[in-house]
Amino acid sequence: MATKFRLGRLPEYGGAVVRFNEFAIDAAMRHLPVTYRHGLRAGSYAVGHRDPFDRILAAQAELESLVLVTRDAAFQEFPVRVLW
Protein backbone atom coordinates (compact mmCIF):
# COMPACT_ATOMS: atom_id res chain seq x y z
CA MET A 1 0.00 0.00 0.00
CA ALA A 2 2.85 2.39 0.84
CA THR A 3 4.51 1.72 -2.52
CA LYS A 4 1.30 2.30 -4.46
CA PHE A 5 0.73 5.52 -2.49
CA ARG A 6 4.30 6.69 -3.21
CA LEU A 7 3.81 5.97 -6.93
CA GLY A 8 0.61 8.03 -6.96
CA ARG A 9 -1.72 5.08 -7.57
CA LEU A 10 -3.53 5.50 -4.24
CA PRO A 11 -3.29 9.24 -3.49
CA GLU A 12 -6.33 9.22 -1.22
CA TYR A 13 -4.80 6.63 1.14
CA GLY A 14 -1.91 8.61 2.65
CA GLY A 15 -3.52 8.67 6.07
CA ALA A 16 -4.21 4.95 5.92
CA VAL A 17 -0.56 4.22 5.14
CA VAL A 18 0.58 6.05 8.27
CA ARG A 19 -2.16 4.49 10.43
CA PHE A 20 -2.08 0.98 8.92
CA ASN A 21 -0.94 -0.74 12.12
CA GLU A 22 -3.69 0.98 14.11
CA PHE A 23 -6.33 -0.13 11.58
CA ALA A 24 -5.02 -3.69 11.62
CA ILE A 25 -5.21 -3.86 15.42
CA ASP A 26 -8.72 -2.36 15.46
CA ALA A 27 -9.87 -4.96 12.93
CA ALA A 28 -8.29 -7.82 14.92
CA MET A 29 -5.91 -8.55 12.05
CA ARG A 30 -2.40 -9.89 12.42
CA HIS A 31 0.70 -9.06 10.45
CA LEU A 32 2.09 -11.90 8.38
CA PRO A 33 5.87 -11.86 7.98
CA VAL A 34 7.52 -13.02 4.78
CA THR A 35 9.34 -16.26 5.53
CA TYR A 36 11.90 -18.37 3.74
CA ARG A 37 9.11 -20.81 2.79
CA HIS A 38 7.11 -17.98 1.21
CA GLY A 39 10.13 -16.87 -0.80
CA LEU A 40 10.84 -20.37 -2.06
CA ARG A 41 7.23 -20.90 -3.10
CA ALA A 42 6.99 -17.49 -4.75
CA GLY A 43 10.07 -18.25 -6.82
CA SER A 44 8.86 -21.69 -7.82
CA TYR A 45 5.57 -20.72 -9.45
CA ALA A 46 5.55 -21.71 -13.12
CA VAL A 47 3.32 -18.79 -14.08
CA GLY A 48 4.27 -15.92 -16.35
CA HIS A 49 3.44 -13.21 -13.83
CA ARG A 50 6.74 -11.55 -12.88
CA ASP A 51 5.84 -9.06 -10.13
CA PRO A 52 7.75 -10.26 -7.04
CA PHE A 53 5.31 -8.60 -4.62
CA ASP A 54 2.36 -10.39 -6.21
CA ARG A 55 4.24 -13.69 -6.16
CA ILE A 56 4.94 -13.30 -2.42
CA LEU A 57 1.28 -12.47 -1.71
CA ALA A 58 0.19 -15.54 -3.66
CA ALA A 59 2.69 -17.74 -1.82
CA GLN A 60 1.56 -16.46 1.56
CA ALA A 61 -2.09 -17.00 0.71
CA GLU A 62 -1.42 -20.50 -0.58
CA LEU A 63 0.90 -21.70 2.20
CA GLU A 64 -1.10 -20.13 5.04
CA SER A 65 -4.48 -21.26 3.60
CA LEU A 66 -5.70 -17.66 3.37
CA VAL A 67 -8.06 -15.95 0.96
CA LEU A 68 -6.40 -13.19 -1.03
CA VAL A 69 -8.61 -10.10 -1.24
CA THR A 70 -7.89 -8.44 -4.59
CA ARG A 71 -9.51 -7.46 -7.83
CA ASP A 72 -6.27 -7.99 -9.76
CA ALA A 73 -6.95 -10.62 -12.44
CA ALA A 74 -3.27 -11.62 -12.44
CA PHE A 75 -3.89 -13.74 -9.35
CA GLN A 76 -6.06 -16.11 -11.36
CA GLU A 77 -2.80 -17.65 -12.60
CA PHE A 78 -1.83 -18.72 -9.07
CA PRO A 79 -3.25 -21.64 -7.03
CA VAL A 80 -4.91 -19.37 -4.46
CA ARG A 81 -8.43 -18.54 -3.40
CA VAL A 82 -9.37 -14.98 -4.32
CA LEU A 83 -12.21 -12.82 -3.02
CA TRP A 84 -13.48 -9.83 -4.99
Q: Tell me, what's the pLDDT at 1?
A: 85
Q: Tell me, what's the pLDDT at 82?
A: 96
List the domain boundaries for the chain.
Answer: 1-31, 34-84
Q: Which of 32, 34, 7, 83 is nearest to 17 (CA)?
A: 7
pTM to 2 decimal places: 0.81
Q: Tell me, what's the pLDDT at 62?
A: 98
31 phi and psi angles, rounded to 5 deg: -80, 140
Give the distance, in angstroms, between the CA of residue 84 and the centroid of all CA atoms in the same chain: 14
pLDDT tens digits for range 31-74: 999 999 999 999 999 999 999 999 999 999 999 999 999 999 99
Contact 57, 39 (CB under 8 A): no
Tell me: pLDDT of 79 over 90.
yes
